[in-house]
Amino acid sequence: MTTGNIQLLSDTLAKAKAENRAALIAYLPAGFPTVDGGIAAIKAAFDGGADVVEVGLPHSDPVLDGPVIQTADDIALRGGVKIADVMRTVREAHEATGKPVLVMTYWNPIDRYGIERFTEELAAAGGAGCILPDLPVQESAVWRENADKHGLATVFVVAPSSKDERLATITAAGSGFVYAASLMGVTGTRESVGEQAADLVRRARAAAAPGRELPVCVGLGVSNATQAKEVAAFADGVIVGSAFVKRILDADGDENAGLAAVKELAAELAEGVRRVS
């Protein structure tokens, strides 16, 4: 049976650390602006310098996502995007680049689709794992069993409000990396990422049991090279989503302009995460 690429993900994050920099993780929804266009956008992000890409599974009620990603999800859903298209997006993006591709999704679509079916298909597509922002860790055993069987990472999301006990539980249960939401609220660009993110990264690392340390990657709010550099000073990875989506929206239907803008932003951010020792 084909296994997922959790080792590729771990190796990619470790390589970035060995180069004394944070990894750049880009987020783009599947099916936006079309399925083919979304695949091309992911390739453009990798071409620009992204180390990892999260493929969003569009959802009609994206509680964590701000207006920019909600707009993209709505476009994808009106275009008829299905889970099969998400799997195709993962497969083609990974096969074209050889780089780790994860899926970020709310729990309901997986629950309806079937956990075993979803994990088997994601692994067969070459996926590295899944980010599950609304799956409680205490209710994740069946998911983790299936993900482990297929070599997929299970990435949980922590927030500044997370208590140390919860951080310890998530670090013990998760794999791949810990997704640290830099602030309370929904996704979107921010003027400043703030000190909360640095404190959360510190606490997440301190909560890990010996031998269970995971990279901690920060998302929500990073939109430019200056912010990427700020976060790279204390995090293992910098996650950027809304800023990429906005570049495509701003292209107003000009696919080539949108792809060029995505590649350009990835290059700027990739330079930002290459912090000096």
Instruction: Judge whether 65 counts as a catalytic residue.
Output: yes
Per-residue CA distances from 141 to 104, 135, 136, 210, 214 (Å): 18, 10, 10, 22, 19
Q: From the candidates 11, 47, 51, 54, which is the catalytic residue?
A: 54
Q: If we measure between CA atoms, which residue out of 158, 137, 160, 272 comes closest to residue 215?
A: 158
Residue 136 near residue 173 (C-beta atoms within 8 A): no
Query: Cα 243–195–137 angle (5° rounding)?
Result: 75
| Helix (H) / strand (E) containing 27 | strand 23-29
Residue 213 near residue 13 (C-beta atoms within 8 A): no
Q: From the candidates 19, 36, 51, 65, which is the catalytic residue?
A: 65
How many other C-beta atoms are found inside a 10 Å radius of the C-beta of residue 165?
9
Environment class of residue 109 by beta-carbon count within 10 Å: exposed (0-12), middle (13-18) or buried (19+)? middle
Q: How many CA atoms lie within 13 A of 45 on its CB side?
A: 31
How many other C-beta atoms are found inside a 10 Å radius of the C-beta of residue 212?
13
Residue 174 near residue 136 (C-beta atoms within 8 A): no
Q: Which residues are catalytic?
A: 54, 65
